[in-house]
Chains A and B, each alone.
Chain A
Amino acid sequence: MADVKYTQEHEWIRVEGGVGTIGITQYAQEQLGDVVFVELPQVGRKVAKGEACAVVESVKAASDIYAPVSGEVTEANTGLTDAPGDVNAEPTGKGWFFKLKLADKSELDGLMDEAAYGAFVKSLA
């Protein structure tokens, strides 16, 4: 059963068998507005937890995406090059950004679960 965790920077990570799929949340895409471009990390790159490794651009803003956990990039969602709007349409589905092979599963413990993230977002209002 896939386990979804969340960061305070509004990234989600869904882990299946040691590989995490990462994207931004519904709240984040709403805040950004129409996404026009996504800059993805190269496959093979090793990233540390909290390291900026991708950029999502809307018309008026550019936000860094930080790796929720450490690992090695195994896949990047190149479909976003032609369809950046997927991030707005399905931020947790086809709008995913990249996949990581986790270096240390225990890093997931420090992240929020769905309920905690929901409360966090409410507190921002």
Chain B
Amino acid sequence: MVQSLDRSQGRLGGVTAGATATPATFTGNRGLQLEEPLIFEMGQPGRCGVDLPEPPKAKDRLNGLRRAGEIGLPGLSEPQVVQHYTRLSQKNYAIDMGVYPLGSCTMKHNPRLNEKVARLAGIGDLHPLQPVSTVQGALELIDRLAHWLKTLTGMPAVAMSPAAGAHGEMCGMMAIAAALAAKGERAKRKIVLAPESAHGTNPATAAALGFTVKPIPANDRGRVDLSALKAALGPDVAAIMLTNPNTCGLFENEIIEISKAVHEAGAYFYCDGANFNAIVGRVRPGDLGVDCMHINLHKTFSTPHGGGGPGAGPVVLSAALAPYAPYPWVVKDGDTWRIAEEGASVGSAAPLGRLKAFHGQMGMFTRALAYIMSHGADGLKQAAEDAVLSANYVMASLKDVMSPAFHGPCMHEALFDDSFLKDTGVSTLDFAKAMIDEGYHPMTMYFPLVVHGALLIEPTESQAKEDLDLFIGALRSLADRAKSGKDVEAFKAAPQFAPRRRLDETLAARKPVLRWRPSNNPPEGDPLKQAAE
């Protein structure tokens, strides 16, 4: 284990080619921006961050397989651990710091009440396999959330166990496969239709289940081309996977005709619910003809994004698909609750199987339900309206200096293409990196793929108008500067004020270093090489 510690990850004399002239420091720190080593570079054998009692003498029953040799974990005291993670945390942008305009991610405020109720004794500390008689309140909680989700979407059933959106997609598409199998059509219907603007998880899920994905083109209004869809439907089509509002932030106005055509062709309609925040409380997907829709609790229902999870992706199901829902599910028998787990307890249903151990992401159910109850039916409707209003306000305030991808109002996210940057020498990537120096996390870039150099802004309903105005002002200034053609180098060198400048992603992919080793030397790299676009 490496003993001594050189905290300075910068070079002495700090300033390197391409940077603006910021003063050098001896430590490599810059004010409150602190450099931080790895725990493996901080550990000492004599240190420990917990006090555990001496184990009593007991009979060894390890079958002679006692672990020999060192594991290699570093020893740190509690103060060091707190300092390490606190310093790390200060290198992260987060919703708590301001606008986080990531399109398709719905970075809304994460209420702290959610965190409080999730930690209540008797909720946060229950074992999933306690006798059912000892967890009646937990089962009631799950059922209460299920009731809200079904009512908000106008759907008769919901599968609660998927662990995230992509897992929910898998659940929905497996239910469709199960329904087809029950009709003897699994082998006949092998095609799934999805727009080219679809999120990558859609074709990935369909392909995993043995379907062939065929793209459906969009019309010039950015919506699904209905006549092209009708032409593509046939006896070999299993399902269509649509996002609504779509990934361009537009509501599919012909969605009822679409669902009719799909059903008439004997196929099913999967709806990706990632953008539910635009319509929650105002429109019920059940009224639009969907057969199943996953809901990202960590998007629409405010459970925290946590640096990339955990999420939860319950799937609401139509009457046609409900019989195939995976186990387990919660059942009310008179006054008591039980769990249908497998075997006799599932009754006459034909579940597609089990997607995950235990019952589901209970911690996210608790948080989502607290949020839902706090908002209520009136608040959720208001939230959707404010989300749509905010996105249109951003669109209207920027459309003269940036280039909207489509004409007309958007829903909860505003999509621009990079034509406003044409001939400036500044790319979408450069523009986004310059936003970092202005104090903002960039919007989603280069998605959806159907728009060139896409910039997708989703402000959500959580921003005060003053904060939206500041954000808009920053983007206007950056757009003007890009178009002036004068400061291309500043864009290329951005970000300059973040804890790190642009990182060499080519090096990371060519010579992957995925763990610390005692023998790691600082990786080679040309400091002047920028990450590839």
Contact = CB atoms under 8 A, between A and B. Distances in A.
A34 interface: yes
User: By DSSP majority rule, is chain A's interface helix, strand, loop, or mixed?
Assistant: loop
A104 B533 CA distance: 39
Interface in B486-526: 505-506, 509-510
B306 to A, nearest CB: 25
A37 B509 contact: yes
A91 to B, nearest CB: 16
B19 interface: no
Contacts of B532: 33-34, 58-60
**Chain A CB within 10 Å — which of B446, B505, B510 has the most?**
B510
Contacts of A59: 505-506, 509, 531-532
A85 to B, nearest CB: 7
A57 B509 contact: yes
Contact of A85 (B505, B510, B531, B533): B510
A72 to B, nearest CB: 28
A47 interface: no
Contacts of B506: 33-34, 36, 58-59
A36 B531 CA distance: 12
B430 to A, nearest CB: 14
Interface residues of A, number: 10
Contacts of A57: 509
Interface in A40-54: none
Interface in A48-74: 57-60
Contacts of B505: 59
A36 B533 contact: no
Contacts of B446: 60
A60 B532 CA distance: 8
A10 B505 CA distance: 25
A53 B505 CA distance: 26
B533 A60 contact: yes
B319 to A, nearest CB: 40
Contact of A84 (B510, B531, B533): B510
Nearest to B505: A59
A73 to B, nearest CB: 24
A34 B509 CA distance: 10
Interface string B398-426: 00000000000000000000000000000
A85 B531 CA distance: 14
B422 to A, nearest CB: 13
A13 to B, nearest CB: 27
Interface string B150-165: 0000000000000000
A84 B446 CA distance: 25
Contacts of B510: 34, 36-37, 84-85
A38 to B, nearest CB: 11
Interface string B430-466: 0000000000000000100000000000000000000
A31 to B, nearest CB: 10
**Chain B CB within 10 Å — which of A34, A37, A84 has the most?**
A34
A59 B511 CA distance: 12
A89 to B, nearest CB: 13
A5 to B, nearest CB: 29
A57 B512 CA distance: 14
A90 to B, nearest CB: 17
Contacts of A33: 506, 532-533
A60 B445 CA distance: 12
Contacts of B509: 36-37, 57, 59
A94 to B, nearest CB: 16
A33 to B, nearest CB: 4
A33 B446 CA distance: 15
A60 B509 CA distance: 10
**Chain B CB within 10 Å — which of A57, A59, A60, A85 has the most?**
A59
A95 to B, nearest CB: 14
Contacts of A85: 510
A33 B533 CA distance: 7
Nearest to B531: A59
Contacts of A34: 506, 510, 532
B433 to A, nearest CB: 15
B105 to A, nearest CB: 19
A57 B446 CA distance: 17
Nearest to A36: B509
B224 to A, nearest CB: 26
Interface string A12-46: 00000000000000000000011011000000000
A14 B420 CA distance: 41
**Chain A CB within 10 Å — which of B446, B531, B532 has the most?**
B532
A85 B506 CA distance: 10
A33 B506 CA distance: 9
B93 to A, nearest CB: 21
A39 B531 CA distance: 22
A7 to B, nearest CB: 22
**Chain A CB within 10 Å — which of B446, B505, B509, B531 has the most?**
B509
Nearest to A85: B510
A34 B510 CA distance: 9
A57 B532 CA distance: 12
24 contacts: A33-B506, A33-B532, A33-B533, A34-B506, A34-B510, A34-B532, A36-B506, A36-B509, A36-B510, A37-B509, A37-B510, A57-B509, A58-B506, A58-B532, A59-B505, A59-B506, A59-B509, A59-B531, A59-B532, A60-B446, A60-B532, A60-B533, A84-B510, A85-B510
Interface of A: 33-34, 36-37, 57-60, 84-85
Interface of B: 446, 505-506, 509-510, 531-533
Nearest 6 A/B pairs, CB to CB = A36-B509, A33-B532, A34-B506, A34-B532, A59-B505, A36-B510
Given A57-B509, A58-B532, A60-B533, 4 more contacts: A34-B506, A34-B532, A37-B509, A60-B532
